[in-house]
Structure 1
Amino acid sequence: MAVAERPWARRTHKRRLPEGALDWITWLQEWGNAFYPLAFVWAFFEGETFVIFGGMGAKLGIFNLYWLVGTVWIGSFLGDQLWFWLGRRWGNQALARFPSAEVHASRVLRWLEKYGVAFILVFRFLYGVRNIASVAIGTSRMPWSRFLFWNFIAAGIWAWSFAGAGYLFGEAAGAIGEDGPKILVLSALGIGALVIAVKSILWVRRRALAATNPAE
């Protein structure tokens, strides 16, 4: 008796890895739903690059803009809630073991005291601050319910800002004409490479400064 071939197996046989810019678009259209869990995980830790790329894809019709925003909104919100909880539970002990992180946390607490809720709304946009900010705020006297509320609002602002920026960039690329999708994909790859390069350079510089000035 012949065994029926499973639908997912047939789809696997037909699909191939993308070879060019336009093939990337076709491939993403077929596998677009897999992007949302990846975007969630990326936003959970830290990653505006994925959100910008997703916004571009939404303009091309590859992704749903509202699903994208909702996914990264919740991912970013839950990520910072986790860091806040870790800060509330073990923050002071952990920071005491890492002097350089303690310096950054002290700076975050000064900003929190000075700017209050406004700092919670914007710290996601400050590179290298997001995770340590949530941990530091967790060590403060801020009630968890207050951080929960404003963190949810801040995550939404962050999600709409970067998804919207990507969408507008996609609209500009689409106005170029039939070469717009190709330019869009290549631009997305270029932006991703640039962001990785900048983050790597800043990370190396921070490490070098920490080694040179261990007491600061």
Structure 2
Amino acid sequence: MPETRAVTMESLIAAWGLPALTFGTLFEGDAVAFVGGLMAHRGLITPVGAWGAVTLGGVAVDNALFHLGRRSGQSAWMARMLAKPLALRLLGAVAAHPVKIILGFRFVWGTRTVTPPVLAAAGISPLLFAALDAVSVAVWAALYVALGYGLGLTVERLWGGLSWGEHWALSLAAGSMLAAGLFVLWRRRSR
């Protein structure tokens, strides 16, 4: 008689963890990278695996947006995007600081979707963008995966051995509060 195994959260994550992280990063990078760190802390995936999966997803989405901007030419979508105040400021800055913008945009909330197409419209080389973006995303992924891993350690030290759900909920709540605090500081500073 074949052996039946119970399907648990841990077994699902262990089976689909890395592809799910890569896919999730295409839509919501910070939270997914953070959860990847939590998963690594719980031993469901390796920290290097989480970093690699998040990096792959981040590079893929950035390059897709960049090439979409190159292929769109002067489409209505691109014209609307380039007319936004943020895009106009970026277009002005790209000529003076293209390397800094490519390396830094992933770390600035609210600029991840608009910057790659703007860089493409500004005539940045696809090879330059791909190389510098890979470096930037690798550092960004390491930072967020490490934050999730570190917060998981902190939660475990404060509250001891928790179930996966309790651990995840506490870590996510703490991470959300940290992100909200950073967002408030960023908003005050940008005014």
User: Shorter-chain TM-score: what band?
Assistant: 0.7 to 0.9
Bigger CA drift: 187-196 or 60-69? 187-196
Over 3 Å counting, the alpha-carbon distance change for 1:195 and 1:35 in structure 2 is farther
Pair 1:80–1:54, CA change in 2 (3 A): same
Alpha carbon RMSD of aligned pairs, Å? 2.8
TM-score with structure 2 length normalisation?
Answer: 0.79
Aligned to 1:78: 60
Question: Which residue is equivalent to 2:11?
Answer: 30
Query: What is the letter of the counterpart of residue 152 of structure 1?
Result: A
| Superposition pairs of residues 164-183 of structure 1, within 5 angstroms | 164-179=146-161
- Unmatched segments (≥5 aa) in structure 2: 182-191
**How many percent identity over aligned positions?**
23
- Select between 138-147 and 114-123 the one with higher mean Cα deviation: 114-123
Residue 193 and residue 91 in structure 1: after superposition, are their counterparts in 2 closer, same or farther (change >3 A)? farther
Please say if residues 40 and 72 of structure 1, whose CA atoms lie closer than 8 Å, have aligned partners that are also in contact: yes
What amino acid is the match of 2:10? Q
> How many Å separate the matches in 2 of 1:151 and 1:100?
21
Distance in 1 of aligned mates of 2:127 and 2:179 = 35
Q: Which amino acid aligns with 2:149?
A: Y
Where in structure 1 are there 5+ consecutive unaligned residues?
A: 16-26, 199-216
With normalisation by structure 1, the TM-score equals 0.71
User: Aligned partner of 1:186: which letter?
Assistant: A
Q: Give the secondary structure class of the aligned counterpart of 2:113.
A: helix
Is 1:48 aligned to residue 40 of structure 2? Answer: no
Aligned pairs, number: 178
CA contact (8 A) 2:103 2:135 kept: yes
Contact map agreement 2:37 2:144 (CA 8 A) in 1: yes
Cα distance in structure 2, aligned partners of 1:34 and 1:114: 43
